[in-house]
Amino acid sequence: MRRLLRDVFDAAIARVDARHAVLQERIRLRRCARDPVLVIAFGKAARPMAEAVAHLLPDAPLRGLVVPPSPDTAPLPPFEVIAGGHPLPTAGSLRAARRALDLAASITPGERLLFLVSGGGSAMLEAPADDAVTLTELRTFYQALLGCGADIGAINTVRGWCSTIKGGRLARAGRAARSQLTLAISDVPAGSGALASNPTGADATTLADCFAVLDRHRLWPVVPAPLRARMQRGDLPPGLAPDDELHQRSETVELLNDRTLGSAALAALRERGLRAEFVPEADDLPCAQAADLLLARLARLRAAHPGERVAVVAVGELLVQLPSSPGAGGRNQQFALTCAERIADRAITVLSCGSDGIDGNSPAAGAVVDGTTAARARARGLDIGSHLARCDAFPLLDALGDTVLTGPTQTNVRDLRLLAHDA
């Protein structure tokens, strides 16, 4: 069953291939390329998306910028390449944002603007709303924001209001373009508009929404002082309002999202003979609550179909509040290890992995555990409870051989969880 779930994960990742998704848009892109095109690509899928555009439009007058994850700085003509950092901004992220804004501002009325946006773009393309904010201050702030337990929508609301590029501000910089088209590979809930903190679309959030997140999670002490002062004065760069006329010349197409990933996994399980169901309610829940919910749904499915191999599928991201000094791991390994205690000595296998191949601050994409994991941990003198409390799942799971190592996948459509009960 462990091997089967790994195969299903691989099949689902193949279905969310970024380059292929852009190639499917050949008619739209060739229509767009009747005029010169400025391309700005950023996020974990930036390189394959930009490669696909260059392949489809070999004779078009293209220029632009590609911002892939660091340390990728390989040339990609005719585009410039500046690598950005993730999960926290780096000096490259700041350089990339400044260059993106300059390029957008340089566009002429005869050019079209093509944005290729994918998950990870919030950190990889960043320019704080006050130039006095240092990179160290920005990273400290964002580290606290990412670890506070807020969902991705709340996190991106804050990042949007603290930036000169997010919340539609990159689109505003390119206002002179004949048209704007955003092709998106999304690592946020489908239709939420929060991808990469929304640099290319209208921002329906308010500064009050941002303040509410900072208040609720007690984050004001880590907001850099120059930025805090500007926020409290309301002195921030304007975002792109929902009623801006720019929308008449703009279009956003979501190519892939977490539902694409979940549907592919569901089909792959059924092809392998399992009775499988999709569980949409397990998104944006605390880790332990999601484990209880999904295991309960698996038990219900098993009871309804005794003697059959059954499975449940869930996508999205879970909430994990980090301690002051977290260990190595990520939300997927935290979830898998949480399940390991609950499924001890049972014929259940659980896989939880990030579609980008990276889980938190570890080298793993996630983990796959089964009814033997807890006993194997005890045999090695490893205490699951203490590793969970420290958010330090990777060392334990890696010692047991339960981690899933894929390397970066060059796509990013959130996380996949598979829970299966053998016959």
Average pLDDT of span 325-353 = 97
DSSP state of 275: E
- 257: alpha, beta or left? (left if phi > 0; alpha if psi -120 to 50): beta
The 3-class secondary structure across 125-159, one letter per residue, is: CCCECCCCCCHHHHHHHHHHHHCCCCCHHHHHHHH
Residue 245 and residue 275 in one domain: no
413 Cβ neighbours under 8 A, 6+ residues apart:
16, 119, 185, 186, 187, 256, 257, 258, 260, 261, 315, 355
Q: What CATH number corresponds to the domain at position 274?
A: 3.40.1480.10
For residue 18, being part of any structural domain is answered with no
Element (H, E) at 354: strand 348-354
What are the tens digits of pLDDT across the range 158-181? Answer: 999 999 999 999 999 999 999 999
* Listed residues 256, 279, 308: the one ending a domain: 256
For residue 21, being part of any structural domain is answered with no
Contact 36, 61 (CB under 8 A): yes
For residue 3, being part of any structural domain is answered with no
Q: How many residues does the chain have?
A: 423
| Nearest-5° Cα angle at 16, 6 to 156 | 105
Distance CA 275, CA 282 (A): 19
Residue 199 and residue 263 in one domain: no
Smallest CA-to-CA distance from 414 within 200, 203, 253, 262 is with 262
Residue 236 and residue 271 in one domain: no
Structure tokens at 375: 């006993």
Residue 272 and residue 219 in one domain: no
195 or 393, which is more confident: 393
- Cα 49 to the center of its chain, rounded Å: 16
Residue 386 and residue 350 in one domain: yes
pLDDT over threshold 90, residue 193: no
* Listed residues 223, 256, 289: the one ending a domain: 256
* Listed residues 256, 289, 316: the one ending a domain: 256
Question: Which strands, in side-by-side order, build the sheet including 403-404?
Answer: 275-278, 310-316, 415-421, 348-354, 366-370, 403-404
Residue 231 and residue 265 in one domain: no
What are the tens digits of pLDDT across the range 39-78? Answer: 999 999 999 999 999 999 999 999 999 999 999 999 999 9
Q: Please name the residue that has the structure tokens 């002490």.
A: 221
For residue 205, the enclosing domain spans 33-256
For residue 358, being part of any structural domain is answered with yes
Q: What CATH number corresponds to the domain at position 240?
A: 3.40.50.10180
- 334: alpha, beta or left? (left if phi > 0; alpha if psi -120 to 50): alpha
Average pLDDT of span 135-156 = 93
pLDDT over threshold 80, residue 391: yes
Residue 243 and residue 269 in one domain: no
Report the greatest alpha carbon distance in the chain. 68
Structure tokens at 397: 């799971």
pLDDT for 33: 82
Q: Among positive and negative, which fits the CA dihedral 15, 421, 363, 40?
A: positive
Angle, helices 207-216 vs 225-233, to 10°: value is 130
- Cα 196 to the center of its chain, rounded Å: 8
Residue 221 and residue 251 in one domain: yes
pLDDT over threshold 80, residue 194: no
Backbone angles phi, psi at 50, to 5 degrees: -70, -40
Domain count of the fold of the chain = 2
Contact 351, 311 (CB under 8 A): no
For residue 101, being part of any structural domain is answered with yes
224 Cβ neighbours under 8 A, 6+ residues apart:
128, 130, 132, 133, 134, 137, 138, 141
- Cα 350 to the center of its chain, rounded Å: 21
Question: Which strands, in side-by-side order, build the sheet including 62-67?
Answer: 80-81, 62-67, 37-42, 112-118, 179-185, 250-256
pLDDT over threshold 80, residue 34: yes
Residue 248 and residue 265 in one domain: no
Residue 220 and residue 325 in one domain: no
- Cα 216 to the center of its chain, rounded Å: 23
For residue 130, being part of any structural domain is answered with yes
For residue 277, being part of any structural domain is answered with yes
Contact 144, 63 (CB under 8 A): no
pTM attached to this predicted model: 0.93
Average pLDDT of span 286-312 = 97
Strand partners, 93: none
Round the average pLDDT of the chain to a whole number and report it: 95
Residue 94 and residue 125 in one domain: yes
pLDDT for 190: 67
What are the tens digits of pLDDT across the range 220-267? Answer: 999 999 999 999 999 999 999 889 999 888 999 999 999 999 999 999
For residue 27, being part of any structural domain is answered with no
Q: What's the Cα-to-Cα distance from 130 to each of 43, 95, 163, 184, rounded to whole Å?
A: 23, 15, 8, 28
DSSP state of 79: B
DSSP state of 303: H
Terminal CA-CA length for the chain: 10
Residue 146 and residue 107 in one domain: yes
